[in-house]
Amino acid sequence: MKNLLTLGLALVVTSATAQSLTGAGASFPFPLYSKMFAEYKTAAGTSVNYQSVGSGAGQKAITERTVDFAGSDNPMSDDSLKAAPAKLLHIPTAIGAVVPAYNLPGVTDPLKFTGKVLADIYLGKIKLWNDKAIMALNPGVTIPPLPITVARRSDGSGTTFVFSDYLAKVSTEWKTKVGVGNSLSWPVGTGAKGNDGVAGVVKSTPGAIGYVELVYAKQNKLPFGSVQNRAGKYVLADNGPAALAAKGVVIPADTRVSLTNSANADAYPIASFTYVIFYQDQKYGDRTQAQAQELKKLLTWMTTAGQQYNEPLDYAKLPDTVASKAKTIIGTMTYGGSKF
């Protein structure tokens, strides 16, 4: 009972009422969800099996109704929502930062990047680390003349969506030649699965650069650069600057929004919500109302008491206004058309 009170759960659990839930999707929040779901099982007795398979696979799984919820770093498009068999809802659970992590022996200070330079690296136009465009941003830094090995995702990825969404806002060439999406036709690069896969390529390859969620760079002890934001400031990713991204953007009632290139003058520019996606009406297939209630309890906890785990794992907590919108969305859940 002590754990229940600590985590803000006003329920009594017995072995007879214990349930299990399944989720799949983004690798971006996987370190956070692993911690959250372990703590939730201890407190509530509910097991949550979350598979880190990428946002694209998560969106496919929830559309096909093979999981209770999906994890995704980008909201589903209007067309994708229309293709689902019933109405899907989104709630954010955290704000994360996507960072340019690199492996440059002898370089100890964080490098500075502009969006244009990052776009040109991923377009294959900048091929060496001592290219004049990189050197101009980092005067006084001795950068080895190593060839750049570009690491990127091979799977359908919300992290890719966030990174490409940012590049499309700051580079017309990227927008017209490559565009925005979970999966892209990459001009260059070595593909790897998941944030952990990209981090692994960077860690093992001198001269490599890859875009990963902040916690993956920190866990792998990879240096990462500061990125110029919309106000012209070079910002190094952290919880505070990532959270500020949401304060420079109008958050709609359904919370489906891009936080990249935020208008907030102190925001980190490559930031994003990570979402849980689920059906508004929970009566489908052989689902019981008890399962629906368990999902509702979990989602409520993730956006309230569960937020205490965000910052220790390098994710920003939801702003109060966003948490309030999530509460309203969760409150619209039904079972067979009736609220529960």
Span 25-70, pLDDT tens digits: 999 999 999 999 999 999 999 999 999 999 999 999 999 999 999 9
pLDDT digits (tens, 9 = 90+) for 294-303: 999 999 999 9
Tell me what the pLDDT averaged over the chain comes to.
Answer: 94
- Local confidence band at 271 (pLDDT 50, 70, 90 cut-offs): very high
> What digits encode the pLDDT tens for the residues 311-338?
999 999 999 999 999 999 999 999 999 9
Tens of pLDDT, residues 172-203: 999 999 999 999 999 999 999 999 999 999 99
| DSSP for residue 95 | E
- Please report the pLDDT score of residue 19 as a whole number: 85
CA 327 centroid distance within chain: 20
- Closest to 192 in 3D by CA, of 315, 27, 23: 27
Does the pLDDT at position 12 exceed 90? no
For residues 122 and 167, the answer to whether their CB atoms sit within 8 Å is: yes
Residue 2: pLDDT band with limits 50, 70, 90:
very low
HEC readout, 16-75: CCCCEEEEEECCCCHHHHHHHHHHHHHHHCCEEEEEECCHHHHHHHHHCCCCCEEEECCC
What is the pLDDT, as a whole number, of residue 286? 94
What is the total residue count of the chain? 340
Taking Cα atoms as reference points, which of 333, 339, 325, 291 lies closest to residue 87?
A: 333
Task: For Cα atoms 269, 135, 229, give the angle at the middle one, nearest 5 degrees.
Answer: 15
pLDDT band at 6 (very low <50, low <70, confident <90, very high): very low
Using pLDDT thresholds of 50, 70 and 90, give the confidence band for residue 308.
very high
Query: Which of 266, 276, 277, 212 is CA-nearest to residue 243?
Result: 266
| pLDDT digit string, tens, across residues 74-122 | 999 999 999 999 999 999 999 999 999 999 999 999 999 999 999 999 9
Q: What is the pLDDT of residue 4?
A: 39
Give the C-alpha separation, 141 to 139, whole Å: 6
pLDDT on residue 69 = 98
Task: Measure Cα distances from 186 to 127, 174, 177, 334 in Å.
Answer: 15, 11, 10, 42
- The answer, as to whether pTM is greater than 0.85, is yes
Q: 88 has which bridge partners?
A: 279
Scan for tokens 């799984």, then name that residue.
Answer: 61
| 159 burial type by CB count under 10 A (0-12 exposed, 13-18 middle, 19+ buried) | buried
- Structure token digits, residue 101: 């992590």
- pLDDT recorded at residue 248: 86
Assess whether pLDDT exceeds 90 at residue 3. no
Res. 7: pLDDT tops 60: no
pLDDT digits (tens, 9 = 90+) for 157-175: 999 999 999 999 999 999 9
